[in-house]
Amino acid sequence: MANQDFLNEINKRRTFAIISHPDAGKTTITEKVLLFGRAIQVAGTVKGRGSNQHAKSDWMEMEKERGISVTTSVMQFPY
């Protein structure tokens, strides 16, 4: 890859970090970013027990069962 191509690829990247108090909506905003960025078709929900459409960033079974985020998630998608 030529140096200019490399610089062009770097200029396309955007990095976001969402850090906040528990229960402040980190997962909700993450789902909206993925939805509006067209990385997903339907946003998941932050619900425990019985919900079948889980948030994409909640990948551990405990997170899905309890409706909480336990781990850090790194997601990447073209926009």
Q: pLDDT averaged over consecutive 10-residue blocks of the chain (79 residues)? A: 86 85 79 84 62 69 74 77
**19 falls within a domain:** yes
**71 falls within a domain:** no
- Full residue range of the structural domain in which residue 60 is found: 3-66
Q: Please, are residues 43 and 34 in contact by the beta-carbon 8 Å criterion?
A: yes
Whole-number pLDDT of residue 46: 58
**77 falls within a domain:** no
CA 38 to chain centre: 12
DSSP letter for each residue of 41-77: SS--B---SS-SSB-TT--SHHHHHHT---S------
pTM, full prediction = 0.59
